[in-house]
Amino acid sequence: MADKLLGHVVIIGIGLIGGSLARALKEQGAADRITGVARSQQTLDKALELGVVDAVEQDAGAAVENADIVVLATPVATINTLLNTITDHLPEHCIVTDAGSVKGSIVRAARDALGDRVGCFVPGHPIAGTEESGVEASFSTLYQNRRVILTPLPENNADDVQVIRGMWEHCGATVVEMPVDEHDTILAATSHLPHLLAFALVDFLSARENQQEIFANSAGGFRDFTRIAASNPIMWRDICLANRRQLIPLLNEAQSQLATYASFLETCDGESLEQAFQRAKQARDELPGIVASALGLPQPEEDGGVEE
């Protein structure tokens, strides 16, 4: 499917995610026309200036009236409103998809907004991004050798799912499918919890009286671990709230794990602490190979770990 032109693609939200999709599709010549939609005229002007899209529109309803594919690349909390805005303007043949990090709440919103037409909505999530935001931060290779998860609905037409699969394959992504609940459980563990922990650590340390000295003396490990705490706080607030049913149990388990580690320290149980660290190191050492296998890439060379 990745060699088939996509027609008129309307991307609502042309920041890092939507802008990078637009850049990739334009670079590949994969769409007849790409229209970007944003609330800010400044963003639209910048997208045109950078050549990210072919045309721009502030009115989402007007933008989708002749669309073949509509991509919702806005923050999770805005998608419900957007779906209600565009529903009555969608052409009969149009396929709608999204790039949200949470699928359960978005699917419920799609069912409420689209009703009997929910079959035109193919939920998706590219597992890619940076801590940067805005159309200026977008780049055409963001999705190369990255995984995109589709969570098709029972009402979806198989051909529509293939079209959306092909759209992401044009960008160099590996596309997989899984149920909505499985997606939200996995992403709670691999994305939402790490972001929450990074925010929590920086918030905790920044409130200490000696925080200037702490940060001034931070090394690479601290910066690596906390890099994602530089992400958009509003976006991550909405993601964590939307996926709270899966996130809260994981957070409670993580707190229990930390309590266990604290008990090792209190009792000077170096053996148990080392065993825990060894298990974690082994799992982390295996991670690049697991990811490479999942993406069909060559196995990476060992990097020898990190020292400070």
CATH number at residue 110: 3.40.50.720
Q: Alpha-carbon distance 289 to 303, whole Å?
A: 12
Residue 307 lies in a domain: no
Give the number of domains in the chain.
2
Last-in-domain residue among 113, 143, 178? 178
What pLDDT score does 3 carry?
55
Residues contacting residue 208 through CB under 8 Å, at least 6 positions apart:
214
Residue 74 lies in a domain: yes
Helix or strand (DSSP H, E) at 7: none
pLDDT digits 0-9 by tens, 53-64: 999 999 999 999
Specify whether 156 is located in the same domain as 64: yes
Residue 261 lies in a domain: yes
What pLDDT score does 132 carry?
82
| pTM exceeds 0.85 for this model | yes
pLDDT digits 0-9 by tens, 258-274: 999 999 999 999 999 99
Last-in-domain residue among 163, 178, 193? 178
What pLDDT score does 131 carry?
78
Neighbours of 28 (CB within 10 A): 17
What pLDDT score does 1 carry?
43
> Which residue from 52, 45, 48 is spatially nearest to 26, judged by alpha carbons?
52
Q: Which domain holds residue 159?
A: 8-178
What pLDDT score does 302 carry?
58
What pLDDT score does 295 carry?
82
pLDDT digits 0-9 by tens, 285-299: 999 998 888 888 888
Q: Alpha-carbon distance 59 to 63, whole Å?
A: 6
Specify whether 108 is located in the same domain as 217: no
What pLDDT score does 5 carry?
82
Specify whether 220 is located in the same domain as 150: no
Specify whether 200 is located in the same domain as 133: no
Residue 133 lies in a domain: yes
Which residues, listed in sequence order, are joined to residue 56 by a DSSP beta bridge?
A: 36
Structure-token pair, residue 221? 């490990």
CATH number at residue 223: 1.10.3660.10
Beta carbons of 125 and 17 less than 8 angstroms apart:
no
Specify whether 168 is located in the same domain as 20: yes
Last-in-domain residue among 137, 157, 178? 178
Specify whether 188 is located in the same domain as 93: no
* Segments of the chain scoring below 50 in pLDDT: 1, 304-308
